Amino acid sequence: MKKRYIEKNMTTPTPKCIPKATQERIARLAEQARQARAEPLTPARETEIKQRIKAELIRQDAVLVAHYYVDGPLQDLAEETGGFVADSLEMARFGRTHPAKTLIVAGVRFMGETAKILSPEKRVLVLDQEAECSLDLGCPAEEFTALCDAHPDRTVVVYANTSAAVKARADWTVTSAIGRDIVAHLASKGEKVLWAPDRYLGGYIQRVTGADMLLWPGSCIVHEEFKAEALQSLLREHPDAAVLVHPESRPEVIALADVVGSTTQMILAARNLSASTFIVATEQGIFHKMKQAAPEKTFLPLPTGGLGGTCMSCATCHWMKLNDLGKLSRVLETGANEIFVDEEIRRKAVVSIQRMLDFAGRRTDKAACPG
Ligand code: 13P
Ligand code: SF4
């Protein structure tokens, strides 16, 4: 069993902060999303809506691509209807190569935009235009561009959780599944990196690659709630548990992980590691697929509040939870929530995404997730 410790001098890097007004806006929008979440459907209504959706998907030559954080019924429906459930990298790849005329993206807005950037000839619909991401909101294109302009000697690498305009200013767009490898590749060529927007993911990549990185100070409001003290407490109760951590988490939490990876990589680890119990630090929607992938194993959410094994304020991305079957049905009936990206921005943004996809294509470890 590996030694669990918190490195001396390991503190949360905060070179500068997201402006207070932006932080308040993020908190306000997250709260609005929490309040807007729909009530669960009755089983009869769910069956009826699913039948309608299935018929419309066929009639409109549409396919559903869902992220692991959306509710279980949407994930299941995506797979039942020939669609896909995945992390951000695999969602992008699937949407680009699938022959359907319409892509329906169940996730947050940047995922819909990425699909449109890669497949401009397809109609791309999202279930709710208010499905934001705190990383995207915390990195406005104008301020970001000014920082890039001030550092012309740095290669600009942005996380996929950004707007199309930010991606358009970047040299590379990366996801959590591949960001570490891409930055290691750049560092091996002696390139210095300007990274945005997640300071925790950026800090993690900086620590493991040794790259020279300037970090934008953004964060995921879900993952930054996880605390090392709560994890250590849970580990005292379950000393043999393996710890799976998404790299948007704080460095003190990452330091205690057995596996740090994207949502797909976490699910694969849950299936492949020999441990029978796992402590999981990411959004709670992932448990749906984790339990399918390894039904005989026990998964414990890392509590975001309190210190016991009981989840008190279970990690929830309220924007992801805006996706539901009722909205999917309405979007299919009305064609609402189509994603459009300005063509000039799209042509620039696609270059930075395509670099990542080409890099991923050259790797041998294709990360398809088990059902
Ligand atoms: P993944 O690419 O690992 O699925 O992460 C997306 C995300 O938004 C995590 O919070
Ligand atoms: Fe954004 Fe965090 Fe939600 Fe992922 S979990 S979509 S990073 S707010």
Angstrom distance (rounded) from CA 185 to CA 179: 10
CA proximity to 180, closest of 151, 156, 161, 159? 159
Q: How far is the CA of 304 from the centre of ligand 2 (A)?
A: 15
Tell the residue nearest (CA) to atom 3 of ligand 2.
317
The tokens for 248 are 């948007």
Report yes or no: 46 and 73 within 8 Å, Cβ to Cβ: yes
Given the structure tokens 């800090």, which residue do they identify? Answer: 203
Report yes or no: 103 and 332 within 8 Å, Cβ to Cβ: no
Predicted pLDDT of residue 8 = 38
Angle at 136 between CA 183 and CA 94, to 5 degrees: 65
Q: Which atom of ligand 1 is nearest to the CA of 220?
A: 10
Indicate whether 59 belongs to any domain. Answer: yes
Angstrom distance (rounded) from CA 86 to CA 285: 12
CA of 88, nearest ligand number: 1
Report yes or no: 178 and 217 within 8 Å, Cβ to Cβ: no
Answer yes or no: do 128 and 42 share one domain.
yes
Contacts (Cβ under 8 Å, ≥6 apart) of 310: 303
Predicted pLDDT of residue 305 = 65
Predicted pLDDT of residue 307 = 47
Indicate whether 25 belongs to any domain. Answer: no
Q: Is the pLDDT of residue 257 over 80?
A: yes
Considering its fold, how many domains does the chain have in total?
A: 3
Split at pLDDT 50, 70, 90, the class of 363 is confident
Asked if residue 249 has its Cβ within 6 Å of ligand 1, the reply is no
CA distance to 63, 116, 121, 127, 143, per residue, from 124 (Å): 10, 6, 9, 10, 28
Indicate whether 27 belongs to any domain. Answer: no
Q: What is the pLDDT of residues 223-255, one digit of tens each?
A: 999 999 999 999 999 999 999 999 999 999 999
Q: What is the pLDDT of residues 24-72, one digit of tens each?
A: 999 999 999 999 999 989 999 999 999 999 999 999 999 999 999 999 9
Q: How far is the CA of 44 from the centre of ligand 1 (A)?
A: 32
Indicate whether 245 belongs to any domain. Answer: yes
Q: How many CB atoms lie within 10 A of CB 192?
A: 14
Range of the domain at 235: 223-301
Given the structure tokens 């299935």, which residue do they identify? Answer: 54
Asked if residue 176 has its Cβ within 6 Å of ligand 1, the reply is yes
Burial class (CB in 10 A: 0-12, 13-18, 19+), 110: buried
Indicate whether 275 belongs to any domain. Answer: yes
Answer yes or no: do 122 and 152 share one domain.
no
Indicate whether 73 belongs to any domain. Answer: yes
Assess whether the previous peptide bond of 197 is cis (omega < 30° from 0).
yes
Angstrom distance (rounded) from CA 127 to CA 197: 25
Answer yes or no: do 272 and 185 share one domain.
no
Instruction: Say which CATH number the domain at 248 has.
Output: 3.40.50.10800
Residue type, 14: T
Tell the residue nearest (CA) to atom 1 of ligand 2.
133
Answer yes or no: do 175 and 199 share one domain.
yes
Indicate whether 17 belongs to any domain. Answer: no
CA distance to 68, 204, 268, 282, per residue, from 261 (Å): 14, 11, 10, 10
Q: What's the pTM?
A: 0.92
